[in-house]
Structure formats: structure tokens, C-alpha cells
Amino acid sequence: MAYPTSLNPFADDNEEDFKPKRSGFEDESDSGMTDAERQQRYLQQEVMRTAQSAVDSSYRSLSLIYESEKMGVETAEELVRQGEVLKRTDKMLDNMDEDLKTSQRHITSIKSVWGGLVNYFKGKPETKPTPEEPKAYQANERLQTAMSGSREHEDKYQASHPNLRKLDTGGFGAAASMDDSSSRQNGYPQNRYLRDAHQTLDNNLDEMSSGLARLKNLGLGLQAEINDQDDSIGSLLNKVDTMDAKIINTNQQLKNLK
């Protein structure tokens, strides 16, 4: 009688009829076993394979979180560099505005004798102090905090890379022994392999939770910085429009002097 796939494989009343599928080869240790013992061994091996699969899956998930976090930090760094460019552009527009004001005064003095007399009695223009070096661009505080927190975990991205991570899989899989009692103690199985697997899963889930929290903060920081830079771009566009109108007006006045 074949074992029904719809029934619970752990049910006692089906143990006598259970015939585990065999592969092309058979473990020598199975030679002296009864069908019930083979059934128990097969189920034990499946439990260990499932535990190993869950552990491997948690490591892959962690690796993806670390990779996403690394990409998020790189995006934030590029956004900060863009903010620096916007700040330099704003400063350059301010300097251009000052130069246009000086040009306008010269044009006024050329156009009228009275303007020239006024400039004469005013004397030499005051020497402007050397402008201070602009301070380094500071990103949004929320983004800075998120970047700082993520950078502390950059080494985990390398450590979690599949080609670099070495897992101790000894004892898992088909060859794992289940001689230890499978009863639970303090929430973990007494079998040392399953206990290690459960503890590893718990640790990885905790780290996944922390990683997702960091990713959330990074995303919110990026959004806040983008909003700030959108405002800066809007201000720059207004300055550019004003500057364009001033340049056109100055050029027209120069043409009228001919």
C-alpha cells in the first residue's frame, strides 16, 4: 500500500505502510533497518534539510538587505555631491549679480555728466573684503544620520557576499544525526543541529529587522534631501530668470551708448 501524500507523514497509524522513495543508491547503514526505522530516518533527514534551507534563505535575504543598503548610501553620496554643485551655482549667480550692479554704475556715469561728477566726489570705491571660503555643503540632518548608521555596517555587505561567506553546514542535510531528543528546552530543540539552526534564524531575523529599519531611515533621509534640493533648484531658476533680464537690459544700454 502506497503512502498517501494527503496524510500527515508523522501520523502513527500510517507508519507500517510508509515506503520512502529511494534514490539510485542506498546508504549501507539502512541495510539492517526495518521499514519503520527507515521512515523515521527519512523524516529526520527531511527536517534537517528544511532547517538548512531556512538558514540559507535567511542569509540570502540578509545579503540582499546589505546590498540595497550599500546602493542607498552610494545614492546618498551622489545626492550630496549634487547639493554641493547647487550651492556653488548659487554662489556664482550672487557674484554675477554684484558684477552687473558694478557695470550698471559705470554705464550710469558714462551716460550723464552729473553721474560722472557724483562718482568723482564719491572717491574711490571701498575695497571689498576678501570673501570667505564657502562652508562645505551639509546634507539634510536626517540623511546624515541615516548614512552614518548605514556606513557602520558596510563590512557586513562584504562578509555576506556569497563568494566570501563560508557557512558551517556540517551536521545538516541527509547525513545529520537525530539521536538527540527533539523535545524543546527554553524554546529551542535539544538536538544540537536544530538548536543551532533555530538560533541562527533568530539572529538573522533580528539583523534583518535592523537592516530594514536602516533602509527605511535611509529612504526617508533621501526623500528629505530631494525635497530640500527641489527648493534650491526652484530658487536658482528664479535667480537665473532675474539675471537673464538684467543682462538683456545691460546689453541694451550698452548699444544705446554707441
Give the residue, 205 or 135, on which the prediction is more confident.
Answer: 205
Answer yes or no: is pLDDT of 40 > 90: no
Q: What is the pLDDT of residues 124-168, one digit of tens each?
A: 555 555 555 667 788 888 898 989 888 887 777 666 655 445 444
Q: How far apart are CA 241 and CA 62, in angstroms?
A: 49
218-242 mean pLDDT: 93
CB-neighbour burial class of residue 136 (10 A; exposed 0-12, middle 13-18, buried 19+): exposed
> In which residue are the cell numbers 546508504 written?
27
DSSP code of residue 188? E
- Tell me the residue length of the chain: 258
pLDDT tens, position by position, 114-127 = 555 555 555 555 55
Estimate to the nearest angstrom the gap between the alpha carbon of 19 and the chain centroid: 49
Which DSSP category does 185 fall into? Answer: E
Q: How confident is the model at residue 183 (pLDDT cuts 50, 70, 90)?
A: very low
Phi-psi sector, 89: left (phi>0), alpha (psi -120 to 50), beta: alpha
pLDDT band at 41 (very low <50, low <70, confident <90, very high): confident
- For 18, 23, 37, the CA distances from 31, given in Å and listed in that order, are 17, 14, 11
pLDDT of residue 172: 45
- Cα separation, 195 vs 189, whole angstroms: 5
The rounded distance, in Å, linking the Cα atoms of 197 and 52 is 7
Domain borders along the chain are 33-122+137-164+172-256
